[in-house]
Amino acid sequence: MKHPAATTTPDLLPEHDLAGERPPKKPRQATWREKRGLAAITVNLPADVKNDFDAYLAKTGKNRNEVIAHLLRTQLLRKR
């Protein structure tokens, strides 16, 4: 039920944006990754492997992204 003093109800608003059509904005994080040439991936690991990996990172003080990138380059993507 409408309030008697309501002046902006959905039926009174225009169907379109008064400023015109706007292109959709990229999320800030997507723009940040694009500027730096980065891409995000999601990896599902067993819980015990993740816990061991977190313990290794805490012990060495290394960055998770750097360690994974190094492992991929040296172990998986190396020339054979």
Number of domains in the chain: 1
User: Within a domain: residue 60?
Assistant: yes
pLDDT of res. 55 = 96
User: Within a domain: residue 13?
Assistant: no
Distances in Å between the alpha carbon of 69 and those of 10, 50, 64?
Answer: 51, 16, 9
Question: pLDDT by residue (tens digit) across 19-67?
Answer: 777 778 888 888 899 999 999 889 999 999 999 999 999 999 999 999 9
Task: Tell whether the model's pLDDT for residue 76 goes beyond 70.
Answer: yes
User: Within a domain: residue 68?
Assistant: yes
Q: Find out whether 13 and 6 touch, Cβ atoms under 8 Å.
A: no
pTM over 0.85: no
For residue 59, what are the domain limits?
45-80
User: Within a domain: residue 58?
Assistant: yes
User: Within a domain: residue 35?
Assistant: no
